[in-house]
Amino acid sequence: MHSGLARRGAAVYAGAMMNIPALSVLHRRSVRTLILIAALAGCTVPGAGGKDRVTVLGGRYVVAAPPGFCVDPGSRRDERDGSFVLFGDCSALSGQVSDQRPAHPAVLSATIGPRTPGPIETTFPGFERFFHSPAGRAALARSGSAGDVQILQVRKTGPVMLLKIRDRSGAQGTPVGQTYWRAIVDLGGRITALSVLPLKSAPMSDAAQIRLLEDFIAAIRAANGWS
């Protein structure tokens, strides 16, 4: 039964990544845009940002970020089966030096996918196979090319799967680092992917990225009243 759920979970996630625009092409485009114009301290977009949370999926789901991170208004994509949101440095997005800055300059992304087909832990083997496949690596690549992405490490801790990813295309023409961490987790009964994208100018250790992902998960749970 578990192997069937794993296959189903991978198929569900693959379908989401490949077929919902917000979860593939729009993800790559939005990440590039925010990194280039709004994520760095000192690079401001006056009048933008200012909110640490946004409601998606017809008001059924609140995506919230840790302190110092605010929604990039132009990044939000809300589809029937999923949503995508980017968060950057609040001060950089608003142009207000008095606004709070995050402890670690980075870009955060949240991809809210379809409903989980069962306990998410049982689907992790299927997810892992998918992300190691050409289709999975292409979905992760900002270039859309599977050859640009390498899965460096996979960790499974209870209901959270963590992936350490190297995306060589991420360094082309942007200040983002090549290597980042992504979490796959069930939040509100939906397959949710959260990423921490460090900047070249402000490298983050693996431990710091994972802590920030944990804070990101906690912020979303608190905003929705989930335990």
Q: What is the CATH number of the domain that holds 22?
A: 3.40.1000
Res. 149 pLDDT band, cuts 50 70 90: very high
Q: Which residues contact 71 (CB under 8 A, 6 or more apart)?
A: 49, 51, 52, 53, 54, 63, 65, 85, 86, 87
What is the C-alpha to C-alpha distance for residues 117 and 33, in angstroms, rounded to an integer? Answer: 33
Least confident of 66-70, 95-99, 124-128, 140-144: 95-99
Q: Which residues contact 102 (CB under 8 A, 6 or more apart)?
A: 66, 67, 68, 69, 89, 90
Q: Outline where DSSP puts E strands in 22-170.
A: 53-56, 61-64, 69-71, 77-78, 83-89, 106-115, 149-157, 160-167
Res. 6 pLDDT band, cuts 50 70 90: low
- More confident site: 26 or 64: 64
- More confident site: 81 or 36: 81
> Tens digit of pLDDT for each residue in 180-204?
999 999 999 999 999 999 988 889 9
* Average pLDDT of the chain to the nearest whole number: 81
> Tens digit of pLDDT for each residue in 27-69?
554 555 555 444 444 444 444 445 899 999 988 899 999 999 9
User: In this structure, how many other beta carbons lie within 10 angstroms of the beta carbon of residue 5?
Assistant: 19
Of the candidates 70, 64, 69, 63, the residue with the CA atom closest to the CA atom of residue 102: 69
pLDDT at 48: 45
What is the C-alpha to C-alpha distance for residues 167 and 133, in angstroms, rounded to an integer? Answer: 15
Phi, psi of 75 (to 5 degrees): -90, -20
What is the C-alpha to C-alpha distance for residues 217 and 224, in angstroms, rounded to an integer? Answer: 11
User: In this structure, how many other beta carbons lie within 10 angstroms of the beta carbon of residue 42?
Assistant: 8
Least confident of 47-51, 146-150, 209-213: 47-51
What is the C-alpha to C-alpha distance for residues 180 and 170, in angstroms, rounded to an integer? Answer: 10
Domain membership of residue 8 as a residue range: 2-224
User: Domain count of the chain?
Assistant: 1
Tokens 């992304």 sit on residue: 109
pTM for this predicted structure = 0.82
- More confident site: 183 or 83: 183
DSSP label at residue 28 = H
pLDDT at 97: 76
Tell me the average pLDDT across 18-22: 39
